[in-house]
Amino acid sequence: MKDFLLFLYVGMLCSGCAFLPRPSADTISVADAEQILEQAETFAQAGDAQGLCSMTSVPRWCERELDAVGGIATAPIESPQIVDSYIQPDEGNVVGYRVLVLEGEDATGTSYRTEFRVLYRDRQLIPPFPVYWSGAEFDD
């Protein structure tokens, strides 16, 4: 029993250890991705660029994306409509992800259609590009 408890304790300490397998992209549900989108919306609608960009593993990409759309003040007032969703599966060493295809209008009235990605990074779900009104579409 002591051995089992020690194993369990070490497993809990190592929940983010690199030797543990990353969950597959096909385990990311639409509901999971919607939760991440809701977090991004909360930061954006509060005007919190730092909070929004803290959601990703490379904040400077988010900052550049924000600059490209005219800043956090252009964040949509209304939630986007999810018009499609699909999985881009893991391929070898390339991490797969869930995509929510979003449509809406930003605060300036400009229409957008964005592919909002959600993936696992260090066993946590993140949006690599959290500026969901950027109009970004990705060729895979």
- Per-residue model confidence (pLDDT) at position 6: 41
21 C-beta neighbours (distance < 10 Å), count: 6
Average pLDDT (93-115) is 96
- Per-residue model confidence (pLDDT) at position 22: 74
- Per-residue model confidence (pLDDT) at position 7: 45
CA nearest neighbour of 19 among 10, 27, 28, 6:
10
pLDDT over 50 at 30, yes or no: yes
Q: What is the pLDDT of residues 34-93, one digit of tens each?
A: 999 999 999 999 999 999 999 999 999 999 999 999 999 999 999 999 999 999 998 888
- Per-residue model confidence (pLDDT) at position 31: 98
- Give me the residue spans of the domains in the chain: 23-126
Of 22-31, 94-103, 106-115, give the lowest mean pLDDT range: 22-31
Computed over every residue of the chain, the mean pLDDT equals 88
Q: Which amino acid is at 32?
A: D
Inter-CA distances, 75 with 27, 65, 101, Å:
29, 12, 17
Residue 117's pLDDT band, with cuts at 50, 70 and 90, is: very high
pTM (2 decimals)? Answer: 0.82
